[in-house]
């Protein structure tokens, strides 16, 4: 069975109403739905669905149903018995921030809600397609237990999760979707055929759109025998943006970390964390090692930022601009191993960033490799206060010590002058 361990994957996540629209274009059966931006739009949509409707906050986070809004309203998924009730629920969602177990205490803004018809269900199941490294390709995953976290199912009833590895060259075989449909509990021939059709169409979409995950939870059978996808999570490979421009045009930046948005616009590889030591590094492996040694030394990294092997001085400045946006960053550790990326180019970027941005945050700099002596001379001649480190261990110790001093000063309510601008 594919691993369910959560890892950091760079992928685009789109809203549920966008997922429903995309699936509809591939002929996948979904409920009647409408995305709305105002309570009055919700009232009209619910009325068109007979008044019996479900209002779902469009926020990119799991656990919406159990979440709470910043105004105290409970639940981002509400079943409503009238159009007026739907309007009232939407009014308490729109324009507010929804907090769930995945958003943290700050929550995420709700700018739209999705209104769907209310369905009366006979069965709720789980279905997903994902790229699995262990299987070296796509895998279909299904379970008769839908409407709950698949991680909980895996922990409590692992035998009830069924998988099929798909040959990416030959595609889905009929017997594979037949097995999955029956293992999900579908027995009526009509329901089995509908389920097989949905699985096949979802796979076609998965491949055509460079998806990394298609998760339907739940895939349901209604009391009148219809099989539908009533909730969907779709992720797409960031590396495919150049050929999936229509998909990536759906990106909602209001749901993203503002630091990642800024970094992405500058072509930087950035993942925000919750520490206080900012890291500017060239190379993913070196970035991981830098974060590890910060943790070992007793500190906490604030980010993963990889300049890559061919960054310009302007991109170095952009990297510091991202650091400026993060109020949690108390010190910036620059760790460069000069190969393709020359140390003197980094030094010029450092000097330009400090002077142009008015950067005041302490800098700990470790430069090693191509043109390191030239880089050191440029920094020394600049008149800027930067703490040079002899090696990575020394850099980490200096960065952690600065954070410790800053925290002690904060607790003692005294000011500490850590001005690293021009001397």
What does the alpha-carbon distance between residue 28 and residue 18 come to, in Å, rounded to a whole number?
13
Say how far apart CA 397 and CA 134 lie, in whole Å: 38
State the catalytic residue, choosing from 124, 215, 221, 260: 215
- Say yes or no: 301 and 371 in one domain: yes
Prior bond to 218 cis, omega within 30?
A: yes
136: left (phi over 0), alpha (psi -120 to 50) or beta: left
Establish if 134 belongs to a structural domain: yes
Report the CATH number at residue 238: 3.30.470.20
* Residue 84 domain-assigned (yes or no): yes
Question: Does residue 183 sit in the same domain as residue 113?
Answer: no
Structural domain total, the chain: 3
Cβ contacts of residue 230 below 8 Å, gap of 6+?
A: 30, 31, 116, 119, 218, 219, 220
User: Residue 151's domain spans which residues?
Assistant: 1-30+120-255
pLDDT confidence of residue 415? 54
Q: Is residue 288 part of a domain?
A: yes
CATH of the domain at 108: 3.30.1490.20
Domain membership flag for residue 418: no
What size, in residues, is the chain? 423
CA 156 to chain centre: 27
Which of residues 87, 118, 149 is at a domain's end?
118
Question: Same domain for 360 and 266?
Answer: yes
Report the C-alpha gap between 211 and 349 in whole angstroms: 37
**Sites in the chain below the pLDDT cut of 50:** 1-9, 417, 421-423
Residue 311's pLDDT is 64
Same domain, 140 and 223: yes
User: Does 420 fall in a domain?
Assistant: no
Measure the CA–CA gap between 47 and 218, rounded to whole angstroms.
25
**HSE (side-chain half, CA atoms, 13 Å) at 278:** 23
Task: Indicate if 4 and 145 belong to the same structural domain.
Answer: yes
Please check whether residues 142 and 67 belong to one and the same domain.
no
The answer to the question of residue 417 being in a domain is no
Distance, CA of 42 to CA of 60 (rounded, Å): 20
Q: Are residues 241 and 389 in the same domain?
A: no
* pTM > 0.85: yes or no: no
Of 118, 152, 183, the domain-final residue:
118
Q: Do 386 and 326 share a structural domain?
A: yes
CATH code for the domain in which residue 308 is found:
3.40.50.261
Model pLDDT, residue 200: 98
Q: Is 126 a catalytic residue?
A: yes
261 vs 153: CA distance, rounded Å: 34
Q: Is residue 423 part of a domain?
A: no
Let me know whether 77 and 153 are in one domain. no
Based on the fold, state whether residues 291 and 339 are members of the same structural domain: yes
Q: What are phi and psi of 367, to 5 degrees?
A: -120, 130
Strands 277-281 and 137-143: unpaired
Given the residues 41, 43, 117, 126, select the one marked as catalytic: 126
Q: Report if residue 419 sits inside a domain.
A: no
Q: Which residues of 71-85 are buried (b: 16+ CB within 10 A; e: fewer)?
A: eebebbbbebeebeb
Q: Which of 85, 118, 151 is the last residue of a domain?
A: 118
Residues 157 and 301 in one domain: no
**How far apart, in whole angstroms, are the C-alpha atoms of residue 235 and residue 244?**
12
- Tell whether 206 and 242 lie within a shared domain: yes
């Amino acid at each position: 069975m594919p691993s369910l361990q959560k890892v950091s994957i760079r992928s685009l996540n789109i809203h549920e109403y966008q997922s429903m629209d995309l699936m509809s274009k591939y002929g996948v059966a979904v409920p009647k739905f409408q995305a709305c931006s105002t309570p009055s739009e919700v009232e009209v949509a619910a009325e068109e669905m007979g008044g019996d409707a479900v209002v779902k906050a469009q926020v990119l986070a799991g656990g919406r149903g159990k979440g709470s809004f910043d105004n105290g309203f409970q639940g981002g998924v509400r079943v409503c018995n009238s159009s007026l009730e739907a309007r009232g629920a939407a009014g308490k969602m729109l324009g507010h921030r929804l907090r769930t177990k995945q958003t943290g205490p700050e929550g995420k803004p709700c700018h739209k809600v999705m209104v769907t018809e209310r369905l009366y269900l006979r069965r709720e199941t789980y279905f997903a397609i994902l790229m699995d490294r262990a299987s070296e390709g796509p895998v279909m995953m299904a379970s008769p237990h839908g409407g709950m976290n698949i991680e909980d199912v895996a922990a409590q009833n692992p035998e009830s999760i069924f998988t099929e590895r798909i040959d990416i060259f030959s595609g889905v075989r009929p017997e594979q979707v037949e097995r999955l449909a029956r293992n999900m509990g579908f027995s009526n021939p009509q329901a089995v055929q509908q389920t097989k059709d949905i699985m096949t169409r979802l796979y076609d979409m998965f491949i055509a759109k460079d998806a990394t995950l298609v998760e339907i939870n739940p895939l349901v059978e209604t009391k009148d025998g219809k099989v539908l996808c009533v909730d969907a999570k779709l992720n797409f490979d960031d590396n495919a943006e150049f050929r999936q421009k229509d998909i990536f045009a759906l990106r909602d930046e209001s749901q993203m970390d503002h630091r990642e948005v800024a970094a992405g616009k500058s072509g930087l590889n950035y993942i925000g964390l919750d520490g206080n030591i900012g890291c500017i590094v060239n190379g993913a492996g070196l970035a991981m090692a830098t974060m590890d040694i910060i943790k070992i030394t007793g500190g906490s990294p604030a980010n993963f930022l990889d300049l890559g092997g061919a960054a310009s001085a302007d991109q170095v400045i952009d990297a510091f601009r991202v650091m400026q946006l993060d109020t949690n960053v108390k010190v910036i550790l620059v760790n460069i191993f000069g190969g393709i990326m020359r140390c003197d180019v980094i030094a010029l970027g450092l000097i330009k960033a400090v002077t142009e941005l008015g950067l005041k945050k302490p800098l700990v700099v470790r430069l090693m490799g191509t043109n390191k002596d030239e880089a050191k001379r440029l920094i020394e001649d600049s008149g800027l206060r930067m703490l040079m480190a002899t090696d990575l261990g020394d850099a980490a110790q200096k960065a952690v010590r600065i954070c410790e001093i800053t925290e002690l000063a904060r607790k003692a309510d005294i000011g500490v002058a850590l001005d690293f601008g021009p001397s």
